Chain A
Amino acid sequence: MSRSRVALSLLVAALAVLPAFAGPYALSVATLVLYFAYTGQAWNVMMGFAGQLSLGHSLYVGVGAYTAGAIFFHYGIGPWAGLWLAILLCVLLGAVIGFLAFRFGISGVYFALLTIAFAEFTRIGFDHLDWVGGPGGMFLRVAQRDTWDIANFRGPPLMYYYVILALAALAFVLCHFLLKSRPGYYWRAIRENEEAAQALGINAFRWKLYAVALSSAMTAVAGVFFAFYYNNLFPEQIFNISRSIEIILGPIIGGLGTLFGPILGAVVLTLLSDGITELLAALGWEIPGVKQVFYGVVLLVVVMFLPHGIWPALARRLKLDA
Chain B
Amino acid sequence: MLEVKAISKAFRGLRAVREASFAVPEGDINGLIGPNGAGKTTIFNIIAGVYAPDTGSVVFNDEEIHGLRPDQVCAAGIGRTFQIVKPFAGLSVLDNVIVGALHRERGVASARAYSVAILEKLGLGSKRDLLASSLTLPDRKRLEVARALATRPRLLLLDEVMAGLRPTECDEMVEVFRELNRRDGLTILLIEHVMRAVMALAKHIGVLHHGEVIARGTPAEVVRNPAVLECYLGEETEV
> A interface vs B, CB < 8 Å?
180-182, 185-186, 188-189, 191-193, 195-204, 257
Contact = CB atoms under 8 A, between A and B. Distances in A.
Interface in B89-112: 89-91, 95, 98-100, 102-103, 107-108
In the A-B complex, the 8 residue pairs with the closest CB atoms:
A192-B88, A201-B74, A196-B86, A201-B103, A198-B70, A189-B99, A200-B100, A193-B86
B87 interface: yes
Nearest to B104: A201
A199 B99 contact: no
Contacts of B151: 200-201
Contact of B91 (A182, A192, A199, A202): A192
B88 A189 contact: yes
Q: Which of A185, A200, A204 has the most CB of B within 10 A?
A: A200
B99 A204 contact: no
B102 A185 contact: yes
A223 B155 CA distance: 50
B91 A196 contact: no
Contact of A196 (B69, B82, B103, B107): B82
23 contacts: A182-B102, A182-B107, A182-B108, A185-B99, A185-B102, A186-B102, A188-B91, A189-B88, A192-B90, A192-B91, A193-B86, A195-B50, A195-B86, A196-B82, A196-B87, A199-B70, A199-B71, A199-B80, A200-B71, A200-B150, A202-B103, A203-B71, A257-B90
B148 interface: yes
Nearest to A182: B102
B186 interface: no
Nearest to A188: B91
Contacts of B198: none
Contacts of A198: 69-71, 74
B89 A192 contact: yes
A203 B150 CA distance: 17
B147 interface: yes
Contacts of A180: 108
B99 A200 contact: yes
Given A186-B102, A200-B74, A193 B69 contact: no
A181 B147 contact: no
Contacts of A204: 71
B98 A199 contact: no
A81 to B, nearest CB: 36
B48 interface: yes
Nearest to A308: B90
Contacts of B88: 188-189, 192-193, 196-197
B75 interface: yes
Q: Which of A186, A188, A189 has the most CB of B within 10 A?
A: A189
B122 to A, nearest CB: 16
Contacts of B80: 199
B76 to A, nearest CB: 10
A188 B99 CA distance: 9
Contacts of A200: 71, 74, 99-100, 103, 147-148, 150-151
Contacts of B70: 195, 198-199
Contacts of B79: 199
A201 B71 contact: yes
Given A186-B99, A191-B90, 16 more contacts: A181-B108, A185-B99, A185-B108, A188-B99, A189-B88, A192-B90, A193-B87, A193-B88, A195-B82, A196-B88, A198-B71, A199-B70, A200-B103, A200-B150, A200-B151, A202-B99
B202 to A, nearest CB: 23
Interface string B137-154: 000000000011011000
B102 A199 contact: no
A202 B99 CA distance: 9
A185 B98 CA distance: 8
Contacts of B71: 198-204
Q: Which of A197, A198, A201, A257 has the most CB of B within 10 A?
A: A201
Contacts of A197: 88, 99
B90 A199 contact: no
Contacts of B91: 188-189, 192
Given A188-B88, A192-B89, A201 B75 contact: yes
Given A182-B102, A185-B95, A189-B99, A199 B87 contact: no
A191 B86 CA distance: 12
Contacts of B95: 185, 188
Interface string B23-53: 0000000000000000000000000101000
A182 B112 CA distance: 12
A188 B80 CA distance: 20
B69 A199 contact: no
A196 B87 CA distance: 8
A66 B71 CA distance: 40
A156 to B, nearest CB: 43
B90 to A, nearest CB: 5
A180 B91 CA distance: 13
A181 B151 CA distance: 17
B169 to A, nearest CB: 23
